Structure 1
Amino acid sequence: MKEPCQYPSPGVIAIARRVKPGLEEAFEEATKGVILAASTFPGYMGSDVLYPLTKKGEWQLILRFDTAKHLQEWEESVICQGWIARAEALTVDGAKVMRVNSLEAWFALPEIPNALPPPKWKTAIVSAVGLYPVISTLPNFLRPITSGLPIWIASLVNISIMMPLMTWVIMPQVTRLFKGWLYPSQSKKK
């Protein structure tokens, strides 16, 4: 049977750091340098800087590449390693690094770190397996609370409960249940 056509998933990395007091301006310049350097690499799609609300808050840099492979090439480059060393001299507590691509966070398992995400057709099937019982039962369960509300507010209440439930309760369990199918090569190594 022929494998369905797959489009590569984008590679997105979010890096959070706390800047040493008095070095904010130097860190901002370093952040601009990272963005400029990353923009010269294949597949670079853009970036965002989220500034801290307070001086002791975290700076966050988000870099987007068209594929996880292009992101990996950037991360493994000598240029990136140089910028990491420079950032570490300006910050405290090390960096918090998170790689998340849309709903792929539902399929991340701590026992399989840094694994490439499963094919989208598999994630669609497993998402449906987890989502179907929730969307079939939750609105009925909440109907005594939401029946007198306008439909858009009732939908907002349902979604506000459904999404955290899917993210932190349902999908971690469903992903573990289907781990061997979603990550066949990594499951064989264990």
Structure 2
Amino acid sequence: MSARASRDPTADHATVVTSQKVREGRAEEYQRWQDRTNTAASEFDGFMAAEVYPPGAGDPHEWVAVFRFSGVDHLTAWLDSGRRRELLDEARELFEGPPSLEVLRGGSPADQAAETVTAVISHEVRPGREQQFLQWQTKALKAQEKMPGYMGSELFKPVEDVQKHWVVVFRFDSRKHLDDWLESDTRRALLQEGDAYFSSYDVRTVGSAFSGWFRFDSGPGGGVPPNWKQAMSVLLALYPTVMVLTLTLGHELDTLKVPVYLGLFLSNILSVSALTWLLMPLVNRALAFWLVPARAGGRRVHVVGALLVVLGYLLCLAVFGLITHALLPH
């Protein structure tokens, strides 16, 4: 097999992880600004995707934005562009300080389950200690692998003229398991040992495969709901959406003899659009008493909310069961 044929197609992919501390009470303005920024980035060559993660439990004001490009050159073109500088100048009043960013070259996308959370840790390695740092990182990895919920990790070397830090990305299957590792005695001992090899490090956590559909205020009354609630809520909106499209658009596409792959693509566009701009905002408002962590106090609220969602499932099944029974030939 030739070198070209065996080459990893993701080797040149580049990702920038941007961390921004938004001033209290400015979260909605920031989200509107971030939407414009994502749109601006999407107009640059090599753009692949953009993701925004609301604050986690560690810092109620720190938002993380992730931009993915097909190569480092394309990514740096965006980072150094006049358009991005204009957007940063426009948003200066929204942030407590300048945003920090880490550039990751290569790496493979994670298989994101609903509960997956990711930690991005950048290290400023002391000059001449790179080899010792790598040995220390291998030791830390072996310790991580023994922790419950560990799902994998990647090490990213500095990118010349772009990124000076060494960056480690590791994933766990839940926020609890990630926190167990971050707060463990084993990790504290490793960090003490690592002081000889790096002068500073910074930890950022991103997670929740559905975060874009759950944008509650980041102040004292807001936060991000647990992933199991997000998954239940998405299913409540997704099932009737798919059924309605199947019973309406699906029939028309079959009549027009549209190829299955194209019909499925069109259906996905409509279902995702309906969820993002119509149904999930409605679900969020209706279930805010259960979804917003600050409001969902006590076991009774958790149980009542979950029962209401299950009741919604049963109602949908009953309604669509009757519809399909009436439509299908006997």
TM range (shorter): 0.5 to 0.7
Which among 294, 316, 329 is matched to residue 186 of structure 1?
A: 294
Larger Rg, first or second structure (1 or 2): 2
Which among 38, 46, 69 is matched to residue 151 of structure 2?
A: 46
Matched, 1:61 2:165: no
Matched, 1:79 2:202: no
Q: Which residue pairs with 2:118 in the alignment?
A: 14
Which among 155, 180, 199 is matched to residue 89 of structure 1?
A: 199
Following the alignment from structure 1 to structure 2, what is the Cα–Cα distance between the partners of residues 153 and 12?
Answer: 30
Q: Structure 1 vs Structure 2: percent identity of aligned residues?
A: 14
Matched, 1:113 2:223: yes
Matched, 1:36 2:142: yes
Deviation at 1:74, TM superposition (A): 1.4
Deviation at 1:118, TM superposition (A): 4.2
Q: Deviations over 1:9-51 (max 9, x none)?
A: 986331235565978766654543332222233x144313164
Q: Secondary structure at the match of 1:49?
A: strand
Q: 1:64 to 1:17 in 2, by over 3 A?
A: closer
Following the alignment from structure 1 to structure 2, what is the Cα–Cα distance between the partners of residues 99 and 105?
Answer: 11
Select the structure with the greater relative contact order (CA < 8 A; seq sep ≥ 6): 1
Aligned residues: 169
Structure 1: any 5+ residue segments left out of the alignment? 1-8
TM-score, normalised by the number of residues in structure 1: 0.56
Query: Conserved in 2, the CA contact under 8 Å of 1:134 and 1:162?
Result: yes
Q: Which residue pairs with 1:5 in the alignment?
A: none
Deviation at 1:179, TM superposition (A): 2.0
Q: Secondary structure at the match of 1:96?
A: strand
The one-letter amino acid paired with 2:177 is H
Following the alignment from structure 2 to structure 1, what is the Cα–Cα distance between the partners of residues 171 and 117?
Answer: 5
Query: Conserved in 2, the CA contact under 8 Å of 1:64 and 1:71?
Result: yes
Following the alignment from structure 1 to structure 2, what is the Cα–Cα distance between the partners of residues 160 and 48?
Answer: 32
Correspondences of 1:154-169 after superposition (within 5 Å): 154-160=263-269, 162-163=271-272, 166=275
Deviation at 1:180, TM superposition (A): 0.9
Query: Conserved in 1, the CA contact under 8 Å of 2:118 and 2:206?
Result: yes
Greater fraction helix: 1
Matched, 1:130 2:130: no
Q: Secondary structure at the match of 1:48?
A: strand
Cα RMSD (Å) of the superposition?
4.6
Query: Conserved in 1, the CA contact under 8 Å of 2:214 and 2:224?
Result: no
Following the alignment from structure 2 to structure 1, what is the Cα–Cα distance between the partners of residues 290 and 258?
Answer: 42
Deviation at 1:61, TM superposition (A): 1.3
TM-score, normalised by the number of residues in structure 2: 0.37
Structure 2: any 5+ residue segments left out of the alignment? 1-112, 298-330
